[in-house]
Amino acid sequence: MTHPESPVQPARDQEIAQFRAILRSNDRGGYAVPSSRLYPFQWNWDAAINAVGWQTFDEDRAWQEVESLLAGQWDNGMVPSIVFHKPAQSYFPGPQEWGCDDRQPPTTSISQPPVLATMVRRMRARSVDPAVDARLAPIVARLVRWHRWWHRDRDPLHTGLVVTYHPWETGSDNSPAWDEPLKAVPPTARAYQRRDTGVVDGSMRPHKAEYDRFVYLVDFFRDCGFDARKIYDGSPFRIVDFALNAILLRADADLAVLCDDLGMRDEAGELRACHARSLAAIDSLWCDALGRHVSLDTRNGRRLEQHTHAAYLAWYANLFQRAGGTARSAALQGGLEDLLQSTRFGLASTHPRDPGFDPRRYWRGSVWPHINWLVAEGLSEQGLPVAARRLRDDTLALVRAAGPFEYFSPDSGEGLGGPDFSWTASIALILLAGSGSGVSQGAACA
Ligand code: DGY
């Protein structure tokens, strides 16, 4: 493994060629695996980010990435966290464990943070294909069905906030924010064999105690026959993740604009109604004393107040437009400054002051390029370019020095997790192509 001080920066063209080559080598025919041995299938939010990466040099391939993911959509609208397009042995749990091996293609039974509509809107804005809207129509129709699923199956009481049942669904699998709620999940009593720790060092991955609970939940969903109401009522893990809700809010607004652009007026109206309800509801997650939004354990009403990256997605979700928003944004900037100053490279996924902080272990402190980018996009859109630049610069510095790893130590800059990682290469390509989302939030939320 290399460290940030060591290598000389290669020329830009050479760098771009290197990152494109990673996407090409991870391409399995219409979809890219995140990292060949650690994650040998197509992941949901990885695919969304990778589509934007592909678009920097191959637009047709970019749309294929989206179409391949959506081929795994369930009849109820859910777009799964993993689509198991082709069998592979190096990953656990596979489609049989999920109880979804008879589906075509096989999938998991949970979803992942819905960044896709926002990425699709961005891709349309940058498309050079004159026939792009014809290709987009079925994609947008599927996105609408997915968003409906979130608001219907994951918010059956119409609170305006959606719940998640598995840390894998949040994307930030072993965040210290989930430590307390996970205590309510019994460890599985059955034997299973992890594959991840055979591929990367165990010190970079979640502990066995967490995996025992991850596996319990996978079995629980299968044993409930994937019945939405049974799972809502019975899941021992049922949280409102601020990050996922912020991402959905933003995506609802972006999808409404896409619907308008494609003449889907009713769907646009429906999404704007969801957006307005969620925007009002997410206010309840703001904590004045902390100066940031927090997540919620809906089984006991407890707030999950750990200082993680999640809070800084508030700008991306455009949450500070209402009365009092300026003061809240200023408070959040203070938190961001503190978090950035507390490590050498930003943005640590957990504040070093948190007792759960671990700079090397997955979501317990390491820096994630795609999170840096999403947060930076929000900062830029809200007129905070200095912090945005810091995140973009840190991201490129880490990737250049250590290589396109899955995540990085915020202290040493060491590259961690899977090597030759697709969305890290995609983020590098996006940053090298220039910043700016190419979409305006004002228009999205008008
Ligand atoms: C894993 O296996 O680590 C993934 O994050 C699950 O989606």
For 170-181, the pLDDT digits (tens) are 999 999 999 999
Of 59, 65, 169, 173, catalytic: 173
Q: How many angstroms from the chain centroid is the CA of residue 250?
A: 13
- Phi first, then psi, for residue 35 (nearest 5°) are -160, 130
Which residue's C-alpha comes closest to atom 7 of ligand 1?
168
| Gap from CA of 371 to ligand 1 centroid (Å) | 16
Q: Which of 437, 400, 342, 287 is nearest to 19 (CA)?
A: 400
pLDDT in tens, 31-53: 999 999 999 999 999 999 999 99
Cβ-contact 401, 4 below 8 angstroms:
yes
Cβ-contact 21, 434 below 8 angstroms:
no
Task: Tell me, letter by letter, the H, E, C secondary structure of the chain.
Answer: CCCCCCCCCCCHHHHHHHHHHHHHHHECCCCECCECCCECCEEHHHHHHHHHHHHCCCHHHHHHHHHHHHCCCCCCCCCCCEECCCCCCCCCCCHHHHCCCCCCCCECCCCCCCCHHHHHHHHHHCCCCCCHHHHHHHHHHHHHHHHHHHHHHCCCCCCCCCCECCHHHHCCCCCHHHHHHHCCCCCCCCCCCCCHHHHCCHHHCCCHHHHHHHHHHHHHHHHCCCCHHHHHHHCCCCEECHHHHHHHHHHHHHHHHHHHHCCCHHHHHHHHHHHHHHHHHHHHHEECCCCEECEEECCCCEEECCCEHHHHHCCCCCCCCCCCHHHHHHHHHHHHHHHHHCCCCCCECECCCCCCCCCCCCCCCCECHHHHHHHHHHHHHCCCHHHHHHHHHHHHHHHHHHCCCCEECCCCCCEECCCCCHHHHHHHHHHHHCCCCCCCHHHHHC
Q: Which of 36, 273, 61 is nearest to 265 (CA)?
A: 273
pLDDT in tens, 229-240: 999 999 999 999
Q: What distance in Å separates the CA atoms of residue 28 and residue 39, rounded to the nearest whole number?
A: 12
In angstroms and rounded to an integer, the radius of gyration of the C-alpha atoms of the chain is 20
| Gap from CA of 329 to ligand 1 centroid (Å) | 32
Testing ligand 1's pocket by substitution, the residue of 33, 39, 43, 416 carrying the most ligand atoms inside 8 A of its CB is 39
| Average pLDDT of the chain to the nearest whole number | 95
- Which atom in ligand 1 lies closest to the alpha carbon of residue 43? 7
Q: How many angstroms from the chain centroid is the CA of residue 85?
A: 20
Ligand 1 pocket, 84 CB below 6 A?
A: no
**So what's the pLDDT on residue 90?**
87
pLDDT in tens, 272-293: 999 999 999 999 999 999 999 9
pLDDT in tens, 53-103: 999 999 999 999 999 999 999 999 999 999 999 999 889 999 999 999 999
Q: What distance in Å separates the CA atoms of residue 429 and residue 410, rounded to the nearest whole number?
A: 21
pLDDT in tens, 141-164: 999 999 999 999 999 999 999 999
Q: Which of 116, 44, 49, 1 is nearest to 370 (CA)?
A: 49
- Which atom in ligand 1 lies closest to the alpha carbon of residue 362? 3
State yes or no: cis peptide before 105, omega within 30 of 0.
Answer: yes
Which residue's C-alpha comes closest to atom 6 of ligand 1?
168
Q: Does the annotation mark 358 as catalytic?
A: no
Q: What distance in Å separates the CA atoms of residue 242 and residue 246, rounded to the nearest whole number?
A: 6
| Gap from CA of 130 to ligand 1 centroid (Å) | 37
Q: Does the annotation mark 406 as catalytic?
A: yes
| Gap from CA of 253 to ligand 1 centroid (Å) | 28
**So what's the pLDDT on residue 9?**
53
Instruction: Tell me: pLDDT of 296 over 70.
Output: yes
| Cα separation of the two ends of the chain | 48
- Which atom in ligand 1 lies closest to the alpha carbon of residue 206? 3
What is the pTM (predicted TM-score) of this model? 0.95
Q: Which residues contact 24 (CB under 8 A, 6 or more apart)?
A: none
**So what's the pLDDT on residue 10?**
56
| Gap from CA of 174 to ligand 1 centroid (Å) | 10
Q: What distance in Å separates the CA atoms of residue 351 and residue 334, rounded to the nearest whole number?
A: 13
Residue 30: exposure state from Cβ atoms within 10 A (0-12, 13-18, ≥19): middle
Ligand 1 pocket, 108 CB below 6 A?
A: no
Ligand 1 pocket, 168 CB below 6 A?
A: yes
- Phi first, then psi, for residue 416 (nearest 5°) are -130, 160
